[in-house]
Structures are given as structure tokens and as C-alpha cells.
Amino acid sequence: RPPSRPRILLKAPTLAEMEEMNISEEEESP
């Protein structure tokens, strides 16, 4: 990767949002 090319910022959910995503996943796969 040419050092000149900047890295792509990955947007991150908050801890709370992550937990909700996690709960919904667990409900889908009991």
C-alpha cells in the first residue's frame, strides 16, 4: 500500500449498539 494512500476510517457502533446487535443475533439463532 503506498504510504501516501490514507487508511479508510471504519465507522464503529457504540458499545451499547454493539450489544443490541449481539442480542438480536442471539435471538435469531436460539
Partner 1 sequence: HPVNIPRREKDFQGMLEYKKEDELKLVKNLILELKPRGVAVNLIPGLPAYILFMCLRHADYVNDDQKVRTLLTSTINSIKKILKKRGDDFETVSFWLANTCRFLHCLKQYSGDEAFMKHNTSRQNEHSLSNFDLAEYRQVISDLAIQIYQQLIKCMENILQPMIVSGMLEHETIQGVSGVKPTGLRKRTSSIADEGTYTLDSILRQLSAFHSTMCQHGTDPELIKQVVKQQFYIIGAVTLNNLLLRKDMCSWSKGMQIRYNVSQLEEWLRDKGLMTCGAKETLEPLIQAAQLLQVKKKTDEDAEAICSMCQALTTAQIVKVLNLYTPVNEFEERVSVAFIRTIQTRLRDRCESPQLLMDTKMIYPVTFPFNPSSLALETIQIPSSLNLGFLTRV
Chain residues in the site for partner 1 (CB under 8 A): 1, 6-15, 18-19, 21-22
Compute the Cα dihedral for 6, 7, 8, 12 and give only its sign: negative
30 DSSP 8-state letter: -
* CB-nearer residue toward partner 1: 15 or 30: 15
* CB-nearer residue toward partner 1: 12 or 27: 12
Cβ within 8 Å of residue 13, ≥6 positions away: 21
Q: How far is the CB of 30 from partner 1 (least distance, A)?
A: 15
Q: How far is the CB of 27 from partner 1 (least distance, A)?
A: 14
